[in-house]
A and B are shown apart, each in its own frame.
Chain A
Amino acid sequence: MNINEFINIFNDSELVDNKIVIKSKLYEAVEFVKNNYSYDILKEIIAIDNKDFGIELIYHLYTTVDEEDLFLSITVKNEIVSIVDLFPSAQADENEIYDLFGINFIGNKNLKRLYMPEDWEGFPLRKDYVQDEMRLAWNDSDNV
Chain B
Amino acid sequence: MTLTTFKLNLGPQHPSTHGVLRLLLELDGEKILSCEPDVGYLHRGMEKMAERLSYIQYLPLVDRIDYLAGFFYSELLCRVVEKALKVELSDKVRVIRVTLLELNRIASHLLWIGAFLMDLGATSPFFYAFREREMILNYFEKLTGQRMMYNYFVFGGVRKDIEFLEDIEKIISILPQKLNDYEKIITENPIFKRRCVNKGVLEKDVALDYSITGVNLRSSGVDFDLRKNDYLYKGFDFASVVLEGKDAWSRYKARILEIKESIKIIFQALDYLSKNEKLEQKLINPINLKLDNGEYYQEIEAPRGIASCYVKSVGEDKPYRLKWRTGSYYSVNLLRKLLVGEYLNDAIAIAGSLDIILPEVDK
Contact = CB atoms under 8 A, between A and B. Distances in A.
A64 B45 contact: no
Interface residues of A, number: 28
B362 A43 contact: no
B249 to A, nearest CB: 24
B333 A92 contact: yes
A87 B211 contact: yes
Contacts of A47: 323
Label chain B's interface by main secondary structure: mixed
B330 A89 contact: yes
Contact of B325 (A43, A48, A100): A43
Interface stretch (B59-67, B165-173, B234-242, B305-313): B305-313
Contacts of A17: 294-295
Given A91-B336, A92-B329, A92-B333, A114 B209 contact: no
B159 interface: no
Given A46-B323, A87-B209, A92 B332 contact: yes
A89 B211 contact: yes
Interface in A32-54: 40-44, 46-49
A19 B337 CA distance: 31
The 6 closest A-B pairs by CB, nearest first: A89-B211, A115-B40, A115-B43, A92-B333, A44-B325, A40-B208
22 contacts: A40-B209, A42-B211, A43-B213, A44-B211, A44-B325, A46-B310, A48-B312, A67-B229, A88-B209, A89-B210, A89-B211, A92-B332, A92-B333, A100-B47, A114-B38, A114-B39, A115-B39, A115-B43, A115-B362, A124-B45, A124-B48, A125-B47
